[in-house]
Structure 1
């Protein structure tokens, strides 16, 4: 009898605490969204589901701009493409933690995922001060050489489809490594090959984890996937650690004080965090640029007038010599080219979602959001919304020209974060994008390729079957 009473007491206590726990989320519970049973059915027992990221993307079109995702008894989450939420949380300086990036474990305490405010602020400050116009300009010649691999492939396959995505996957990784690299440090082809494989395998395993019911919560610790993810994590971190050791071996007198790694070392950032920042820079700049560049070329094939406008800028600023050196001032003095790169990021944002952890109680549109709630921002939804952009699914660089751009379009462009949380590598990303577009457009015309591009939403968007474009030699007349 005593045992039964004790059990009943425990049950009562559990119910009491659970009701109080749920009560703090009562406003969120009023938001539209799938039930717990519907979530379980859709995510884990619906064979037609393309995966958790694709499913999350579908929710705003089903339930509206603000959706709750609450698999009770776990804590609820909000998915939104609403600009009021974006302005008050995503753009706010006091909500700086991005929990979703914790899943990319090899980024550790890097600039994108660091949850310690002072460390994050310090590291970003070092990067912003280092990545100057001069720093980028000094790297452009190396970028130019790397991009020649794609240019030569185009020259060898005129009139035939060239899978731009495939080439950029390799080239942009090398470009980012060169952004960090220092003279006198050697990275072997085998080191790079192993690093690329470990990194690619990590993301395959991560998506397997996210789409598997057996990998939820502590259950993941007992799976093969868990062991394999941490093995790949260790391999990626080891690459960065070994690379940093090579920096440390460079004689002090031979060190370039403007180098990003040496800047972090001089700022006394701990080695582990430097390695995490190295992996973050490479990751953040790599997958985020491939899709915009590849798809922009396909859009230019549909609208030759875009190519013509860029080419006119190239002729005016650089000339018609396809071997002429391109510097940062050239790239910065072509406004239509910049508008094209910005439109490519808007229309083909490579990251479906980015989140923020709410760090203080707040009320938005009458809904109380307690501290500790994770809000997922549907980035592609925000930047392809009719509320924010006129004819949002059409590729129109002119929308970002100074004489055309609207305040709403500027406010809703969050391709590189916003404000204090904005990406410190944005100038590098734009320079790299504009350089390859310049090299291609000044020598070739882009033509349509008969190919159905199939994009899948994972951590980043990727193509199932490549993103090819067709090219022909441009009829160049000297000016």
Structure 2
């Protein structure tokens, strides 16, 4: 009896505490549409025991039922889901709203306070010193890496083209993108395409999976539950490998640079005077902030951020692009004709950044792919104070979840939104001028994707190489039913990207 009374009083006390703490959030949230919630747990039951595809369909149904701005409660945590372009503009265009939402806490064990997850003064300072790293002259340094790794990718695909079998290209693209980003970021090769069982490659797969689990699994969202789960032990093991590798590369490169300075040799040249490619790490080693060089930890956070953002996002974009080229042979032919016109028919000829920039129709195809399949299907901001945007009050502490996936498929923003029509991006429409934030696959405003030019060049390089060697064909037997996705930090296809290849003569 005493135990039951203690539990009852404790529950009432907790409820009163939570109500007082979240009274404002409760008040303003009540003015928004959204599914019915329950005391303490909110709407958590909607997502319990849901598989990743089921999670996606649940969110889709909520968007259809509740409109362009609605609230969800995950326990005491308030989420406001936004698919309204005007509201998105009000949030993304303002330097007031640059704090990332709680979901980004799941990435911090790996990335620390790097550019993706950093806040306030530190974020502004690092954004300023990193932005020049993506200048077009620097991008030219990376084009050779794109081309070399694309050549390895072509060789890995050859047995598939010879057999004509249907295969899932997504895992192969992942390994290619990982090779590209590792060499671009750190100047080292992990040879993921050839050694997919390497410790580093497996650690990357493991940590991205754990981040994904924490995104949709309500029980794993909260540290006190996560820390006693097996996921925490798996995360620690993966981070030991990832941080250990990055730290060793940083220390090795620091020592090399120091030795080069002692020898008074040009650190950009090797022993025979041949210009050496500059990795993202090299630029960070030379950078200063407030007059001091960056610490190893600060450099590691930015390199790891580049690794995280640069391999999964391009994997998603390239894979869905290959899928659409297979389904639309007329689009594929136009892309191929443009590639031959700009680059020529010599398959082994290296491609320049200037040539990649000339592939304008391919760029339209990439944009249309990202409209339907944005690599980052949602991103979030946290409100630090009460704010009114487009007549809606967003209370302090609320997590704002913007969803470019559903915005790109909204018939109010795009005519025949499910049609794959790259030409729609050839001419800016009046709708685009009225709602420039309706298409935001790279986010927008002060915290837009700093590496979008890098990503566009990498995608163009790999696709132009693939199409010079192969024709991309649909699978012999396609998945029936509606498209299904794993909608996490990165958009993934539930059933992979099945395609076939045939060699071009």
Same-fold call, TM > 0.5? yes
Report the Cα distance in structure 1 between the residues aligned to 2:106 and 2:197, rounded to whole angstroms: 23
Give the Cα–Cα distance (whole angstroms) in 1 for the partners of residues 329 and 365 of structure 2. 13
Per-residue deviation, 1:386? 1.3
Q: Summarize deviations over 1:266-302 as a string: whole Å, max 9, x none.
A: 2222221211111111111111112221222222222
Among 115, 122, 142, the residue aligned to 1:111 = 115
* Preserved CA contact (<8 Å) 1:150 1:164: no
Residues 310 and 68 (structure 1), Cα distance of their counterparts in 2 relative to 1, 3 Å cut: same
Pairing 1:412-427 to 2, within 5 Å after superposition: 412-427=438-453
Q: How does 1:12-411 map to 2 (within 5 A)?
A: 15=16, 18-19=19-20, 21-37=22-38, 39-44=43-48, 50=53, 52=55, 55-71=58-74, 74-99=76-101, 100-104=103-107, 105-115=109-119, 117-158=120-161, 159-182=164-187, 193-209=198-214, 210-211=216-217, 213=219, 216-250=222-256, 251-252=260-261, 253-256=265-268, 259-266=279-286, 267=288, 268-402=293-427, 406-407=432-433, 410-411=436-437
Does 2:490 align with 1:460?
Answer: yes
Gaps of 5+ in 2: 269-276
Deviation sequence 1:411-444 (CA, Å, 0-9, x none): 3221112122111111110001001111122333
CA deviation map 1:307-345 (0-9, x unaligned): 222223223222222222211100111211111122222
Q: TM-score, normalised by structure 1?
A: 0.87
* Conservation of the 8 A alpha-carbon contact between 1:355 and 1:377: yes
- Total equivalences in the alignment: 465
Of 337-346 and 210-219, more deviation after overlay is shown by: 210-219
1-side partners of 2:226 and 2:237: how far apart? Answer: 14
Give the structure 1 partner of residue 271 of structure 2.
none
Which is worse superposed, 150-159 or 122-131? 150-159
> In structure 2, what is the Cα distance between the partners aligned to 1:208 and 1:24?
27
Q: How far apart, CA to CA, are the structure 2 residues paired with 1:108 and 1:414? A: 25
The answer to whether the 8 Å contact 1:98/1:357 transfers is: yes
Matching residue of 2:273: none
Judge conservation of contact 1:107–1:280 (CA < 8 Å) in 2: yes
Kept in 1, the 8 Å contact 2:437–2:444? The answer is: no
Secondary structure at 2:198 match in 1: helix
Structure 2 CA distance, aligned partners of 1:212 and 1:21? 20
The secondary structure found in structure 1 opposite 2:96 is coil
- Compared CA separation, residues 255 and 35, structure 1 to 2 (3 A): farther
Tell me if the contact between 1:54 and 1:457 (Cα under 8 Å) persists in the aligned partners.
no
Q: Deviations over 1:384-409 (max 9, x none)?
A: 21122122222221111146684357
Q: Kindly report the root-mean-square deviation, in angstroms, between the aligned alpha carbons of the 2 structures.
A: 3.1
What displacement does 1:187 show?
Answer: 5.7
Which piece of structure 1 moves more, 18-27 or 130-139? 18-27
Aligned residue for 1:350, secondary structure, equals coil
Q: Tell me the CA shift for residue 42 of structure 1.
A: 2.1
Within 2, Cα distance between the matches of 1:47 and 1:286? 27
Please tell me whether the aligned partners of residues 116 and 305 of structure 2 are also in contact (alpha carbons under 8 angstroms): yes
| Cα offsets for 1:25-54 (capped at 9, x unmatched) | 41222211123337243222x667856565
| Residues 101, 113 of structure 1: 8 Å contact kept | yes
Q: Is the 8 A contact 1:335 1:401 kept in 2?
A: no
Question: Does the CA contact (< 8 Å) of 1:389 and 1:409 recur in 2?
Answer: no
Correspondent of 1:438 among 441, 447, 464: 464
Any unmatched runs of 5+ in structure 1? none
Change (3 A) 1:129 1:12: closer
Task: Render the CA deviation track for 1:62-115: whole Å, top value 9, x for unaligned.
Answer: 22211111245x142211211122111133222112132221120111100002
User: Do the aligned partners of 1:353 and 1:379 also contact (CA within 8 Å) in 2?
Assistant: yes
> What residue is the counterpart of 1:447 in the other structure?
473
Contact 1:354 1:377 in 2 (8 A): yes
